Amino acid sequence: MYKVLLVDDERMILDGISVIVDWNKYETQLIGKAFNGLEAYEFISKNKPDIVITDITMPGLDGLQLVKKAQIEYPGIKWIFISGYNEFEYARQAMRFGVKHYLLKPCNEENIGEALAEVVKEKQQEDHSSAYVKEMEEENAKIMINEYEEALKELFVHPQQTDNAETKVKSIMEELYGEQSCLFAMIYIKDRLAYDQLVTLKHSIKSSFLQETVLANIIDNSILLLLRSNDTKYLKQLLQYEEKLQHYSHTIVMTGLCSHQDMGGVPSLEEMNFHVFYRPNQLFIDMNHCSSHLSKSVHSIDFSFEKILNCIKEGNKTEMVALFQRLEEDLRQHDVMPKRARGYFIQIYLFIVQRLSHRSTEDHIQVINEMEDYHHVTDFTIFFEQLFDRLIQLSGQEGNYSKTVKMMLGFIEEEIANPELSLQWIANHRLFMNADYLGKTFKKETGKGFSAFLTNTRINKAIEMIEKERDIKVFELAERLGFGNNPQYFSQIFKKIKGYSPSERIKSG
């Protein structure tokens, strides 16, 4: 509904028009009446009508003066003039102000209705055009922002192209923020999120800044922001209480101030991740208080794998934890980047499980995948404490096995390449005892049936062999693990247990 104001200094005409016109018929609503131009202008200022139907000759402020004054502040108003015959020259002058519709007194409902219908049609066309223009402007703005956000990502993802990317970002900063200072912030999400969840979170964070222009993009499991610095304390509070962000464990890294003229203090993505990795208990990390020049040289870390192994064998958890805490400190002091540090810990894990393979039945590949996702250096010490507990528990269980079961476990290790190895084979060729009795005893003490235990042991051995011999063939694995000349059956069993084939594991390296 378009809002209409009616203006005339003759009450009879004013009341007559207001009554005879079916305003709803023309998708309009009469919202007010005024007796002169001054009254009308005051009403327009307060109520902003869409259409004004006005007489020309009025005391104080006539129709021409009214439209001239109102058009400056309210150019979207459509005007319909009502004029006497001797005032036609006035109506002609009104055309200079864009007034297209005027009626000669006396006028009836049909005259007014036709003019009103034409004005409403004009308003609808203009509204449609305005909506289309606005939609196009918004779409272009989105495209522009997307381009800016890609440039932001390029700056951090491809440091080898920094000069070109930095020039782009500086230009963007000047366009969006002028001479004002800016800062970058990285929100490091520790939970494993799907990409669409990260996109939703990114939009939620951007909307928290209301009318402020903020650029944001996703890099791995982090959200990178570029924004006007304004008040850093306020920014921290805003991010700290952002509704969707509170659902996830995260760390926020904030850079020092920069501008389109000087981006010298902006840290690399590698440096920001470095500080997240080595500062596990901080919600906010201010890069102003951090060293931003990490060493690129590779330092050898003095660490004894054998000492760790001895701690596990001797059950000395306190000493083992102390060794890992010293390793944490060495890695931090030598500026060892997170990716390389994870590699150290994975090597230690593989060394332990290979040397103590008889105690470990876990899926090593799955464990390694989990270790590669650890966010902080301290996560690894916690991991090895838990691994210590698991190995000690298994060792204790082995100590409680009967002599018969210990001998059966030994035969599995010795005869793992033997295709004939089975419960019946051990009963007939090694222990010379009843196979049913051996099977019940084995399951009672180990919690697993002999056949399932043997199969799992063989598959875990296969993974160890793949890790040690990267170019090993599937048929070789089958032969050396008791599947004879049936590599297809071996592959089927392997995939059933692990969820992927041995060929896939070999190719993945």
DSSP string covering 297-361, please? Answer: SPPPP---HHHHHHHHHHT-HHHHHHHHHHHHHHHHHTT--HHHHHHHHHHHHHHHHHHTTTT--
Cα–Cα distance list, 361 to 187, 233, 364, 450, 457 (Å) = 37, 51, 9, 14, 7
Fold for the domain defined by 2-128: Rossmann fold (3.40.50)
Query: DSSP readout, 21-76?
Result: S-GGGGTEEEEEEESSHHHHHHHHHHH--SEEEEES--SSS-HHHHHHHHHHH-TT
Fold for the domain defined by 403-508: Arc Repressor Mutant, subunit A (1.10.10)
Residue 223 DSSP SS3: strand
pLDDT in tens, the chain (509 residues): 999 999 999 898 899 999 999 999 999 999 999 999 999 999 999 999 999 999 888 888 888 889 989 988 999 999 998 887 556 676 677 777 778 888 887 888 888 999 999 999 999 998 888 888 888 888 888 888 899 999 889 888 876 665 688 888 889 999 888 888 888 889 999 888 899 999 999 998 888 887 788 899 999 889 999 988 766 677 777 777 777 888 888 898 988 788 888 887 788 888 899 999 998 888 888 887 665 555 555 566 778 888 888 888 788 999 999 999 999 999 988 888 898 999 999 989 988 887 776 556 667 778 888 899 899 999 999 999 999 888 877 766 666 788 898 889 889 988 999 999 999 999 999 999 999 999 999 998 888 899 988 998 898 888 878 877 878 999 999 999 999 889 999 999 998 887 788 888 888 76
Angle at 264 between CA 263 and CA 266, to 5 degrees: 70
* Same topology between domain 2-128 and domain 403-508: no
CB 328 within 8 A of CB 378: yes
Provide the CA 396 distance to its chain's centre, in angstroms.
Answer: 45
- Nearest to residue 252, comparing CAs of 264, 237, 262, 266? 237
Residue 1 DSSP SS3: coil
Cα–Cα distance list, 98 to 29, 77, 491 (Å) = 23, 11, 84
CB 410 within 8 A of CB 370: no
Angle at 65 between CA 61 and CA 69, to 5 degrees: 110
Locate the domains of the chain by residue range. 2-128, 158-289, 305-399, 403-508
pTM over 0.85: no
CATH entry 3.40.50.10470 includes domain 158-289: no
